Amino acid sequence: MSQLPAITREQLAPENQAIWDRVMKGRSGGAGPYGTLMHAPEMAECYSALEGYFRDRGMLAKPDKEIIILAVARELGARFPWSRHEIRARQVGVRSEALETLRANGAVNTLTTHEKIVIETARSLVRERRLSDELFARAQAELGIGPLVEAVGLVGHYNFISMVARTFDLDVPPGTVTF
C-alpha cells in the first residue's frame, strides 16, 4: 500500500488540474509514480516531459529502451515500473530469454551480443555509476554515441522513477508477477 494518500484531479488547484490533464494523458489515471508525483505538480510535469521524450522520440530502439528500463527496475527492486514495462517490452518484441534473464538478475552469456551490451551497460551504470573503458567502447560501437548518451539518461530517469516507486511503496496491479 502506498505511503501517500491518493490525490485526485479535483483536489488540485485549477492551474494544477491543467497540469494533471497533461501529465495523465495516456497514463493510468493517477496510479503509479505520476500519481505520487502529482503531489508536486510542476515537478511531475517536468519529469513527464522527459519520459515522453524517451517513450515517443529518441534514438534508442524501442526494445533497447524497455531492456534498459527493466534492468534498472530489477537492479533497484522496483516492482511497479517492472510490472508496466514487462508488458511494453513484450509488445515491442523483447525476447522472452532476455526478459527471464533480467527477471532472475542472471548472467547474460546466453543472450545476443546486442542484448548483452544493453543489459551490461544499464547494470554497470546502476551498480558502478560508470562504464569501464572496455564496456564504454563496446557500447559505443554497438549503439552509437547518441544512443549511448540517451541510454545513460534513461538509466538516470528510471533510477528516479524506481526511487519514487520504492520510497512510496507503489503497489503493482493484483496478480502481477514481477521478480
DSSP states along 24-72: HTTS-TT-HHHHHHTTSHHHHHHHHHHHHHHHHSSSS-HHHHHHHHHHH
Range of the domain at 46: 9-56
User: What is the pTM for the complete model shown?
Assistant: 0.95
For residue 93, being part of any structural domain is answered with yes
Same domain as 159, residue 91: yes
For residue 124, being part of any structural domain is answered with yes
Range 37-42 average pLDDT? 96
Give the pLDDT mean for 50-55.
95
Same domain, 29 and 66: no
- Across the range 123-145, mean pLDDT stands at 98
Same structural domain, 86 and 29: no
**What separation in angstroms does the CA of 7 have from each of 11, 13, 137, 171?**
7, 12, 45, 15
**Same structural domain for residues 113 and 130?**
yes
Same domain, 66 and 151: yes
- Confirm whether 178 is domain-assigned: no
Residue 35 covered by a domain: yes
- Say whether both 31 and 109 belong to one domain: no
Sort 35 into a burial class: Cβ within 10 Å, 0-12 / 13-18 / 19+. buried
Instruction: State whether 27 and 91 are in the same domain.
Output: no
Q: Quick check: 1 pLDDT over 70?
A: no
Q: Do 76 and 18 fall into the same domain?
A: no
Is the predicted pLDDT of residue 2 greater than 80, yes or no? no
- Structural domain contains residue 149: yes
95 and 135 within one domain: yes
Please provide the distance, in angstroms rounded to a whole number, between the alpha carbons at the two ends of the chain: 18
What's 144's domain CATH number? 1.20.1290.10
Query: Do 70 and 140 lie in a common domain?
Result: yes
Number of domains in the chain: 2
Is residue 109 domain-shared with residue 155, that is, in the same domain?
yes
Mean pLDDT of the 130-154 span = 98
